[in-house]
Structure 1
Amino acid sequence: MQSFILRHKPQLTIISGALIAAGLVARFALHSQPAYAAAFIAASIIGVLPILIQAVQALRVRVMSIDVLVSIAVFGAFLIGSWDESAIVTFLFLVGGQIERYTLNQTRSAINALTDMAPQSAAVRRADGTFETVPVDDVRVGDIVKVTTGDRIPVDGTVISGTGLVNESAITGEPIPVGKAAGSSASAGTLLDDGMLTIRADMVGEDTTFGKIIELVENAQDSKSKEERFIDRFAAYYTPAVLIIAVIVGLVTHRVDLAITMLVLGCPGALVIGVPVSNMAGIGNGARHGVLIKGSEVTHRLSSVDTFVFDKTGTITVGVPQVTDVRRYDEDGTPVANDTGNGAGGAHIGSFEETKDVAVRDSSVHDASALDAGSDPAHDDVVRYLVGVESQSQHPLAKAIVRYFGDIPVPQVDQVSVVTGGGISAVHDNHRILVGSPRFLEADGIALTSSMREDASELEMQGDSLVAVAVDGSIRLLLGIRDRLRPGVAEDIARLRRLGAKTIVLLSGDNQRAVDFMTAKLGFDRAIGGLLPDEKAAVISGLRDDGHRVVFVGDGINDSPSIALADVGIAMGNGADVAIDTSDVVLADSDFSRLPHAYGLAKRTVRNMRENIAIAVGTVALLLSGLVLTTWLTMAVGMFVHEASVLAVILNGMRLLRYRTDRNHGTRHWNIRKLDTYQGQPRSVIDTVAA
C-alpha cells in the first residue's frame, strides 16, 4: 500500500488540487460550507498520505526530516479546524516536490546522458565465424566484435578490418567524425556514424576509457564538500530544534496556530538541497565538456587555487616528440657525418598548421633502405644498440627514437635498468650501453667533449631536448628531439590569468635552454628545466610551504608524486593510468583547452553554492521575521514561500549547466575535407572556424 501511494504521488497531487478547486467553487459559487469543508478535508487527507509515509520512513532511521515537520503541522491544523490551511499546505508541498524532482532530473541530464551512452550489447565472433549478440558484460579481452553503422562501440580495442567514421564526442566532447581503418584504436561508447568495423577487444567493461569516465562521474556525485557535510550536520540538529521551539512557543502563547506556522516556516528545504544541486550541476557541466571532477571537495579546492604548475612533455606539448638532429662521434669523440631529421625508414613529420582549435598534421614519410649512405658499420651498430635499448622503454623520447630509425634489426639487450628521470642502461654482447640525458651520463663518469658541448649548446638553442648514447664509456651519438606545443596554449594560459591564476610555473626534465626556447612567448612566471621527478615534487612542496595553493597538471607516471602532492592534481586523459588514478581532475582526450573551463567552472560552482545558501538562510530569516512582525503570514503563505525558495535554489543551480568559458563560446563549423593518413593511421583533416 505504501509503495502504491508513493508511486502514484503525481496523481494524488492532481486529485488534491482538484478537490481544493472544488471546495473553492462550493464556497464562493454555491455558498455551501459543508461541501467546502468536505472537499478541503478530503484534499488534506489525500495530500498528507505520501508525506506521512515518508515521515514515518525517516523516523524509522532516526532522521527528523522536513516531512516530519509538515506532517505535524498538518495534524495541528486539523486539531484547530484549519482544513483550508492543511489542504493548501499539503498541496503546495506535493507540487513543490514534483517541480523539484523534474528540475533535479534536468540537472542530472548531462550525467544521465553520459551513462545512457554505455553500450548494452555486443556482436561477438564465435569459433564457427558467426557473430552472436551478447550482453556487453560477457565480452572478454581478446574477443572479436563487429560494429555496424549506428552502433556504439562496446570495447576499447584495435580495428582489425573494415573502415568507418566514428563520432568520439562521448570521450572527447567534440562532434568530429574520425576515420578508422585496420590498425586504428577504437574506444567504447563512441558511435560509428558510417561504415563497418571489426575490432579486437583490448579493454572491456569498467576497464575501458568510457567505463572509467562513468565511474569517475558517479563517484563524484557521492562525494561531499566540507560545506555539504556541515549542512547535513546542521540540518540534523536544526530540524529537531525547530520542532522544540514550536512546541515551546505553543505552550507559552497558547496559540497552536502560531506553533504550527513556525513548523512550516522553519523547514530547511532550500538549505538542504541548495549545495547538492550546485554540486550536481557543476559535475554534470564538467562531464559534458570533458572535465571529470572527482567530487565536490575537489571543486572547492580548485576554486581557491592561485598557482598553476605544469609539466612540459605531453601537457603543454602534444606529447609526440620527434628526432630533429643526430650528431655522431668516433670512439675518441671526433665528430663524423651527421643526420638532420631524415631518419632511415622512419616517419619524419614536417609542419603543423595551427588553426584556432585544431592542429592539422602534414606528414611525409622518408623512404630509405639503409641507415645512412656510406655510414661506418660501427655507427650502424651503435644505432642498433640504441634502438634495442629504447625499444624496452615506454618513454615518449624513446618512442620518438624508435619511430625515427624505423624498421631495422634490433638486437636483444640484457640487464636493462631504468633510472627514473635520467636514462636507461643495458648490455649487449659484452658492450655496456647508456642512453639518457648528458647529466645522466656525466653521473656515470662519462663527460661530453668540447665539440660535443658545442653541438649540445647549438641543439639547445634550437629548443631541442638532448639524448646522448654511450657505448663502453664513449659517447657515440647526440640526438636533438623536439616536441610541439599544443594549439592555443598561450591563449589558454591567458584565460587562466583572467580567471584568477596569480602564478604560472613550468617544470621540465629538459635542459633549461630548450625550456626557455619553447616557452618564451607563453607567459610563464617561471620555467625550470633539468628537473628529476623528485625535484619537481620538491618545487610543489616549496610553493605550498610559501602559502601558495597549487594545481599541478601532468600526464606521465613520473608526474604522479607531484599530482599527489599538489592541492589539486590534474591529469591529461590520455596519460598514464597511475597519473589518472592519483589525480583529482581528468581532462578528457588530453585537451588543454578544458583546463580554463575546469578552473572557471569550479569558481562558478562554489559561488553558486554560496548564493543558494544565502537564498535559503535569507528566506527562513524573512519568514520568521514576518511571523513576529506581521499578522498576515499564515501556514499556507509560509509553505508557498518555502517551496518557492526551494525552486529558486534549484533553478539557480541549473544555471551552471549553461556555463562556458570564453574559448568555448561561439559555434564551431566543422568542414571535413578528406580522409587522410597520419603515421599509417586514418585521420580526418578538419578546418575549424569559431564564430
Structure 2
Amino acid sequence: MQRYIVGKKNQITLISALLIVFGFFGRFALESLVIFNWSLVIASILGVAPIAIQAYQAFKVRVISIDILVTIAVIGALMIQNYEESAIVTFLFLFGSYLEQRTLNKTRSAIKELTELVPESALKQMENGNFEEIDVDEVDEGDILLVKTGAKVPVDGTVLFGEGHINESSITGESVPVSKTIDSEVFAGSILENGTMQIRADRVGEDTTFGKIIELVEEAQDSKSEAERFIDRFSKYYTPAVLILGVIVWLFSRDIELAITILVLGCPGALVIGVPVSNVAGIGNGARHGVLLKGSEVINDFRKVDTIVFDKTGTLTVGNLEVAEKIFYGKNTEEVLGLLASVERESDHPLANAVLQYIGETNFSTVKETEVVKGGGIVAKVNGHRIAVGNEALMEKENVARNEKAKKDIKRFESNGNSLVLTAIDGQLKALMGIRDQIRPGVKQDLQKLKNLGVKNLVVLSGDNQGTVDLVARELGLTEAHGHMLPDEKSAYIEKLQAKGQIVAFVGDGVNDSPSLALADIGIAMGSGTDVAIETSDVVLMNADFSRLPHALGLTKATARNMKQNISIAIGVVLVLLASLLFSKWMNMSIGMLVHEASILIVILNGMRLLRYHLGGKRVKPEERVKAEKLAKAA
C-alpha cells in the first residue's frame, strides 16, 4: 500500500491542485466555507500521505529527512485549522518534487542518449553462409557479422571485408566520420554512414568499449564527492536542529503557527540537491564531449591541478615518424628519390617507412647485392650504381665526402632533434633527410588554454634523447623537459613534484605509463577507448584527442564554481526566509514553501547550465585532427 501511494505521487499532486482550485472557487464564487474547508482538508490529507510515508521510511533507517519536517508542519497546520496553509504546503512540496525529478532527468540526458545508441540486433553469418538477424545478446566472440549502410556496429571488432566511413561520435565525441578498411578496428554503438562490411566480433556486450563507457559514466554520476558527503553529514544534523528550534520557539512564544512555519522554512532541500546536480551535469557534459571523468572525486581533485606532466610520444606528438626537413645536393632529384625508395623498400626500419611515406609514388628499380650494415644503414646496387643509405657512420665507412655546407646542415638537423638519413650515390652525397615525430596539430594552442586556466607548470618526461625533448619543449613553451627517462624514473619525478606540494596530473597513453598514471593525483589517459586506458586512469580523453584536455580542466573548474553557487543560493534563501519570518509580518508558511521550492528549481537549473558548457577559443580544423589521428593509428 505504501509503495502504491508513493508511486501515485504525481497523480496525487494533480488531484490536490484540483481540490485547492475547487475550494477557492467554492469560497469566492459560491461563498461556501464548507466547500472551501473540506476541499482543502482532503487536499491536505491526500498530499501529506506520500510525504508521511517517505518520512516514515527514512526514520526507519534513522534518517531525519526533509519529509519529516513537512509532515509535522502539515499535521500541525491541520490541528490549528489552518487548512489553507496545510493544503498549499503539501501541494507545493509535491509539485516541487515532481519538477525536481523531471529536471534532474534532463541532467542525466547524456547517459540516456548513450544507452539509446546501444544496438539491439546484429546480422550473424550462419553455418550455411547466409546472414540472419539475431538479438545482440546472442552474439559470441569470433562470430562474423554483417554491417550495412546506416546500421549500428553491434560489437567491438575487426573489419574482415569491405570498407566505409563510420561515425564514432558515441565513442570519441568527434562528429567527423572515420574511414575504415580491412583490419581496421570498429566499436559498438558507432554508425556505418556508407559502405558495407563484414566484421569479426572481438568483444561483445558489457565488455565492449561502448559498454564500459556507459558503465563508467553511470558509476561516475552515482558517486559522491567530498562536498556531497559534507552536505549529507550537514543535513543529518541540520534537520534535527530545525526540529529542536521549532520546539524551542513554541515553548517560549506559545505560537504554534510560528513554530510550524519555522519547520517549513528551514527545509534544506536546495542544499541537499545543489551539489549532486552540478556533478551529474558536469559528468554528462564530459561524456558528450569525449571526456570520461571517473566520478565526483575526480572533478574535485582535477580542478586543483597546478602541474601537468606529459609523456611525449603519442601525447604531445602524433606518435609517427615523418620527414620533417630535407636537403638535396646536386640535380636529378627525382632520380635520387627513385633510387632511395628502391633501396628503402628492402628495409622494415621505421626510418625507412618514413622515407617511403614521404616519397610516395615513384619509379622503383631492381635492387641487387643488398647489404645491411648493423647500426649504420643499408648498401645496395641499383641500375649499376652503388647506393648507401644510413647515418654518418655509414658515410664514413663508405668514404663519402661531406663539404662544409653538408656538415653544417647535418649539425643543424641534429640540433633540431632529427634522426638523420643520408643518401650517397657512387660515393657522392645526394640527399639529407631529418626525420622526427611530429607535434600534434593545435597542441600549442591547447597548452596555452591550460595556462589560462591556472596551470603553472607544464612538464614533459620522455625516454627520447634530451635534444629531441628540448626541441618539443621550446616549440610548445613548456616549463621543463627531461629526456632519457625510464618509467620508474618518471614515477620518481612525479613523487618529487608532489613532495613540493604541487597537485600533479599525468597525461600518458594508459599502457607504458600506468605506474605514473596511478601515482599522480590525476591520471589522464590518451586513448581511443582501450580497456587499459579506461581501467588505469581517472580521466580518459577519447580518440587520443588532446584538445579535450583543456575542455576537461575547464569543465571541472566550472563544475566546482557551480557547486559553490548552489550552496550559496541554498543557504542564502534559508537565512532570508528565517529573517523575514522573525523580522517582518508578510512571511507565512505558504510563501515560505513557494520560495523554498523555487530555490530548489533555481539550483537545478543553475546546475543544468553545465550541460551547455564549452571552453572557448580557436579550434583545430577537423581535417587536421583526422589526419593526426590517422597517423597515430598507423603507428
Tell me if both proteins adopt one fold, taking TM over 0.5 as the criterion: yes
2:493 counterpart of 1:539:
yes
CA distance in 2, matches of 1:106, 1:362: 50
Q: Is 1:273 paired with 2:273? A: yes
Separation of aligned partners in 2, 1:615 and 1:93: 19
Does the residue aligned with 2:129 lie in a helix, a strand or coil? coil
What is the deviation of 1:664? 7.1
TM-score normalised by the chain length of structure 2? 0.84
The alpha-carbon distance between structure 1 residues 55 and 362, as it changes in their structure 2 partners (threshold 3 A), is farther
Taking the TM superposition and a 5 Å limit, the aligned residue runs for 1:454-493 are 460-464=414-418, 482-493=436-447
Q: Which amino acid is 1:201 matched to?
A: A
Select 2:471's aligned residue among 488, 496, 517. 517
> d(CA) in 2 for partners of 1:587 and 1:575?
8
Corresponding residue for residue 215 of structure 1: 215
**Closer/same/farther in 2, CA of residues 315 and 378 from structure 1, 3 Å limit:** closer
Give 1:250 shift.
1.8
Report what 2:589 is aligned to.
635
C-alpha offsets along residues 390-440 of structure 1, whole Å, 9 cap, x if unaligned? xxxxxxxxxxxxxxxxxxxxxxxxxxxxxxxxxxxxxxxxxxxxxxxx9xx
* SS of 2:344 mapped into structure 1: coil
Equivalent residues in 2 for 1:411-450 (5 A)?
none
2:578 corresponds to: 624
- Alignment length, in residue pairs? 580
- Report the Cα offset of residue 343 of structure 1: 2.7
Residues 283-294 of structure 1: pairs in structure 2 closer than 5 A: 283-294=283-294
Is the contact between residue 209 and residue 529 of structure 2 (CA under 8 Å) also seen in structure 1? Answer: no
Which residue does the alignment assign to 2:255?
A: 255
- Please state how far the C-alpha of 1:6 moved relative to its aligned partner: 2.7
- Which amino acid letter does the alignment assign opposite residue 344 of structure 1? R
Partner of 1:418: none
- Percent identity, please: 55
User: What's 1:17 paired with?
Assistant: 17
- Aligned-partner residue type, residue 455 of structure 2: A
- Two-structure CA RMSD over aligned residues (Å): 3.5
Question: Against the structure 1 CA distance between its residues 556 and 569, is the aligned structure 2 distance closer, same or farther, given a 3 Å change threshold?
Answer: closer
SS of residue matched to 1:656: helix
Matched, 1:375 2:329: no
> Bigger shift: 601-610 or 105-114?
105-114
Q: How does 1:307-318 map to 2 (within 5 A)?
A: 307-318=307-318
Instruction: Compare 80-89 and 34-43 and name the one that shifted more.
Output: 34-43
Aligned to 2:480: 526
Change (3 A) 1:556 1:60: closer
Alpha carbons of structure 1 residues 487 and 665: separation in structure 2 relative to 1, 3 Å: closer
Structure 2 equivalent of residue 607 of structure 1:
561
Find the aligned partners of 1:226 and 1:162 in 2 and give their Cα distance: 50
Structure 1 residue 2: Cα displacement:
3.1
Summarize deviations over 1:640-675 as a string: whole Å, max 9, x none. Answer: 111011011001101111110114779x898999x9
Q: Mean alpha-carbon deviation: is it higher for 608-617 or for 570-579?
A: 570-579
Per the alignment, residue 443 of structure 1 pairs with none
Question: Where do 5+ consecutive residues of structure 2 fail to align?
Answer: 326-338, 379-392, 394-401, 422-432
User: What displacement does 1:281 show?
Assistant: 0.4
2:122 is paired with a residue of what secondary structure? Answer: strand
CA distance in structure 2 between the partners assigned to 1:295 and 1:678 by the alignment: 31
Q: Could you tell me which residue of structure 1 aligns to residue 430 of structure 2?
A: none
**In the alignment, which residue of structure 1 is the partner of 2:305?**
305
Matched residue SS, 1:557:
coil
Task: For 2:51 and 2:110, locate their aligned partners in 1 and report how far apart those are by CA, in whole Å.
Answer: 30
- Secondary structure of residue in 2 paired with 1:320: strand
8 Å contact kept, 1:573–1:588? yes
- 1:122 Cα offset (Å): 2.0
Q: Which residue does the alignment assign to 1:364?
A: 360
How many angstroms apart in 1 are the aligned matches of 2:256 and 2:363? 94
Q: Secondary structure at the match of 1:376?
A: strand
With over 3 angstroms needed to count, the CA separation of the structure-2 counterparts of 1:639 and 1:503, relative to structure 1, is same
What secondary structure, in the 3-state scheme, does the structure 2 residue paired with 1:655 have? helix
Amino acid at match of 1:343: E
What letter matches 1:487 in structure 2?
Answer: P
CA spacing shift, 1:378–1:282, aligned 2, 3 Å: closer
CA distance, structure 1, for counterparts of residue 33 and residue 104 of structure 2: 40
How far 1:133 sits from its partner (Å)? 3.1
Query: Secondary structure at 2:309's aligned position in 1?
Result: strand
Q: Aligned equivalents of 2:619 and 2:57: distance in 1?
A: 47
Tell me the distance in 1 between the aligned counterparts of 2:344 and 2:60.
74
Per-residue CA deviations over 1:488-528 (Å, capped at 9, x if unaligned) read 00000011111111111111111111112233221111111
**Structure 1 counterpart of 2:345:** 344
Does 2:581 match 1:658?
no
- How many Å separate the matches in 2 of 1:512 and 1:626? 68
SS at match of 1:558: coil
In structure 2, how many angstroms separate the alpha carbons of the residues matched to 1:581 and 1:466?
39
AA at the equivalent of 1:136: V
Aligned match of 2:388: none
The residue number in structure 2 matching 1:72 is 72
Match of 1:407 in 2: none
Measure, in 1, the Cα distance between the counterparts of 2:227 and 2:218: 20
Partners of 1:164 and 1:179 within 8 A in 2 = yes
- Secondary structure of 1:124 counterpart: strand
Letter in 1 for 2:615: T
Aligned to 2:550: 596
Which protein is richer in helix relative to its size? 2
Amino acid in structure 2 at the alignment position of 1:213: I
Deviation at 1:49, TM superposition (A): 2.0
Q: How many Å separate the matches in 2 of 1:669 and 1:315?
A: 18
Q: Structure 1 residues 26, 161: closer, same or farther in 2, change over 3 A?
A: same
Amino acid at match of 1:143: D
Q: Matched residue of 2:320: which SS?
A: coil
2:450 aligns with 496
After superposition, what is the alpha-carbon deviation per residue over 1:332-375, rounded to whole angstroms, capped at 9, x for unaligned? xxxxxx97997316684579xxxxxxxxx9883678687x6543
Partner of 2:226: 226
Structure 1 residue 190, shift from structure 2 partner: 0.2
Query: Matches of 1:342 and 1:669 in 2, distance apart?
Result: 36
- Per-residue deviation, 1:678: 7.5
Q: Which residue of 2 aligns with 1:143?
A: 143
One-letter code aligned to 1:602: T
Whether 1:45 and 2:45 are equivalent positions in the alignment is yes
Cα contact 1:555–1:576 (8 A) shared by 2: no
Task: Sort the Cα spacing of 1:369 and 1:254 in 2 relative to 1 into closer, same or farther, 3 A.
Answer: farther
Say whether the 8 Å CA contact 1:284–1:657 is kept in structure 2: yes
- What amino acid is aligned across from residue 376 of structure 1 in structure 2? E
Q: Deviations over 1:182-238 (max 9, x none)?
A: 332211110122332211011222222212211221111122111111111111121
Cα distance, 1:454–1:584 mapped onto 2, change above 3 Å: farther
Contact 1:341–1:348 under 8 Å retained in 2: no
Instruction: Name the counterpart of 1:195.
Output: 195
Cα separation, partners in 2 of 1:484 and 1:49, compared to 1, 3 Å: same
Runs (5+) with no aligned partner, structure 1:
326-337, 352-360, 384-437, 439-450, 468-478, 683-691
Structure 2 CA distance for partners of 1:341 and 1:271, relative to 1, 3 Å: farther
